[in-house]
Structure 1
Amino acid sequence: MNAFSTRRASIEPSSADLAFMWFQRVIAGYCLLFGVLYWIRLIGFHPGSLWRFDLMPIHWQVASVCLAAFFPFAAIGLWMNASWGAVMWFICAVAETTMYLVYPHMFGYRLPIVIAHTAAITIYAALWYLVYRERKAAQED
């Protein structure tokens, strides 16, 4: 094996790198969807008392405004594979999980959203660990 083929092999992403990148892009799509849903809630497109900003209780106003801004921002960062995108997504996931688990009397109890966030964070951590382990093994060679 010559130096060029060794260099090329180290430049090409591994299967764990590709899986991690595509998982981030899938999560980016979900973040964009959640962001759009929060914007729909803010502008009052859907009928209902919790679906218009001026009729929402203050706790829903604060949560909706923050998540309507943070979810699309996280989606952009995750799509670009930027480290801050994962941080923003983690903040959004923890915020929604806290809303629905700690304050169900204020926001309701939405177990599917909590399970989805927990599963996504677990898969993200596992894929990140695989990528980290592969890169560490490649550096040792």
Structure 2
Amino acid sequence: MSEQMPRDLGSRDPTSRDHAMSVAAISSGRIESDENIWTRRLVLFLRVMAVVSMMQGLYHWAQVTGFVGTEDDAFEVQTMGWQTATIYFAVIELVSAVGLWLATPWGAVVWLTTVVSMAVIELMFPTIYGGNLLIVGVQAAFLAGYLALAWMAARERPP
């Protein structure tokens, strides 16, 4: 006396469910790509900044370890301020590179800290790295680019 339920109510066909899910994923991806263009641009910018941060961090580590520079420029003969700033940037640049690549909020915060720190050191303590205004300008341009992209990405998402 076993009664079977109608096929459309009782049994689930995994292929039809997978097909429905794949169609929904395709259609939602198409809508999402049109609506989130600024978010995608922001993530691309963060990835580019991650590569830049990694290169800067590796450069600072090369200064610490002696891979770049001459004997006159060796880490040991530099001032305490220069050594401290170089170690600081060697560590924080690599941390920010990881966070930026993953597009995490903490990565952006750490990166913003490095940008502001470098600008402050160049402007307020010119004896450490020489007070190069070009570096300050580039850091300001990176910061302005990030703020503009973050603002545009936030506008395309409803509150």
* 2:48 match: 26
Indicate the larger mover: 21-30 or 110-119: 110-119
1:45: Cα distance to partner?
A: 1.4
* 1:60 match: 82
Is 1:84 the counterpart of 2:87? The answer is: no
* 2:58 match: 36
Aligned 8 A contact 2:63 2:69 in 1: no
Aligned 8 A contact 1:42 1:53 in 2: yes
1:106: Cα distance to partner?
A: 3.2
1:116: Cα distance to partner?
A: 1.0
Q: Scaled by the length of structure 2, what TM-score is found?
A: 0.76
* 2:32 match: 12
From 93, 117, 122, give the equivalent of 2:144.
122
Deviations 1:15-39 (A, max 9, x none): 1111001000011011001001101
1:51: Cα distance to partner?
A: 3.9
Q: Scaled by the length of structure 1, what TM-score is found?
A: 0.85
- What is the aligned residue count? 133
Larger Rg: 2
Instruction: State the SS of the aligned residue for 2:103.
Output: coil
Structure 2 CA distance for aligned equivalents of residues 116 and 106 of structure 1: 18
1:129: Cα distance to partner?
A: 0.6
* 1:105 match: 127
Gapped regions of structure 1 (runs ≥ 5): none
Structure 2 CA distance for aligned equivalents of residues 116 and 50 of structure 1: 28
1:49: Cα distance to partner?
A: 5.8
Deviations 1:83-141 (A, max 9, x none): 111111111111111111111133202122111110011110111011111102xx5xx
Identity %: 29
Instruction: State the SS of the aligned residue for 1:12.
Output: helix
